[in-house]
């Protein structure tokens, strides 16, 4: 059974978070979790969360909990499932939980994300959850938006 929750990264679970990695062939799709936690400190709009299935941390996400100052959107900045836990539906369930959590943040009317063009698995996954390509590229990455219903 899949039971996803998002729990803040703290001193207690930071090392476990850093130990999670995608598959070797996916390394170019996402920064290391150590790098992401450092980025989280530099980007005050973001919050860092472990993705848990029941009580096991299976992945990591970094997303805006206040609007990103450059475009007023709420970005999913990082999203990954550890290589040992992929292919079991956890990524899809986690993305659903991320969207639900973000859509409850006051003022969040649009969720934005981006991915490198080669990452077709995540492109399909985002679209299956309602994201649409904007047609823009940011730093060479494909940008997708999800408008939160009832807020636009
Ligand atoms: C993208 C990612 C989060 C998906 O996690 P996951 O737990 O494997 O995803 P799921 O098991 O829920 O599968 C989601 C969908 O992707 C498909 N999928 C997963 N792995 C796949 C693969 N290697 N090849 C083809 N399809 C794949 C599944 O079939 C499923 O599609 P469906 O809903 O049509 O059946 C994971 O592959 C990952 O962490 N990748 C590396 C980091 C990354 O790319 N992050 C995104 C950066 S923007």
Please report, for residues 67, 112, 117, 121, 137, the alpha-carbon distance to residue 103 in angstroms, rounded to integers and kept in the order given.
12, 12, 26, 23, 24
**Ligand 1 contacts CB of residue 123 (under 6 A):** no
Question: Along the 152 residues of the chain, how does pLDDT read in single tens digits?
Answer: 999 999 999 999 999 999 999 999 999 999 999 999 999 999 999 999 999 999 999 999 999 999 998 888 999 999 999 999 999 999 999 999 999 999 999 999 999 999 999 999 999 999 999 999 999 999 999 999 999 977 55
Q: Tell me the best of 81, 94, 128 to mutate to test the pocket of ligand 1, counting ligand atoms within 8 Å of each CB and taking the most.
A: 81
Distance, in Å, from the CA atom of 146 to the CA atom of 55, rounded to the nearest integer, reads: 29
Instruction: Please tell me if the CB atom of residue 26 comes closer than 6 angstroms to any atom of ligand 1.
Output: yes
* CA separation for the pair 93, 109 (Å, rounded): 21
Distance 151 CA to ligand 1 centre (A): 29
128 lines ligand 1 (CB under 6 A): yes
Q: For residues 140 and 3, give the distance between their C-alpha atoms in angstroms, rounded to a whole number.
A: 35
Collapsing DSSP to helix, strand or coil, 51 comes out as: strand
Q: Residue 87's CB: how many other CB atoms inside 10 A?
A: 9
Specify burial of residue 55 (Cβ count, 10 A radius: 0-12, 13-18, 19+).
exposed
């Amino acid at each position: 059974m899949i039971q996803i929750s998002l729990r803040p990264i703290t001193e207690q679970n930071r090392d476990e978070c850093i130990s999670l990695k995608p598959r070797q062939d996916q390394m170019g799709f996402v920064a290391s979790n150590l790098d992401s936690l450092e980025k989280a400190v530099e980007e005050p709009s973001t919050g860092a969360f472990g993705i848990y299935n029941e009580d096991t941390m299976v992945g990591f996400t970094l997303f805006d909990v206040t609007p990103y100052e450059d475009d007023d959107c709420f970005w999913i900045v990082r999203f990954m499932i550890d290589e040992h836990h992929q292919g079991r539906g956890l990524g899809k369930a986690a993305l659903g939980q991320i969207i639900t959590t973000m859509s409850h943040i006051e003022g969040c009317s649009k969720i934005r994300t981006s991915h490198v063009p080669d990452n077709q698995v995540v492109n399909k996954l985002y679209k299956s959850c309602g994201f649409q390509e904007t047609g823009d590229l940011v730093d060479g990455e494909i940008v997708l938006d999800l408008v939160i219903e009832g807020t636009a």
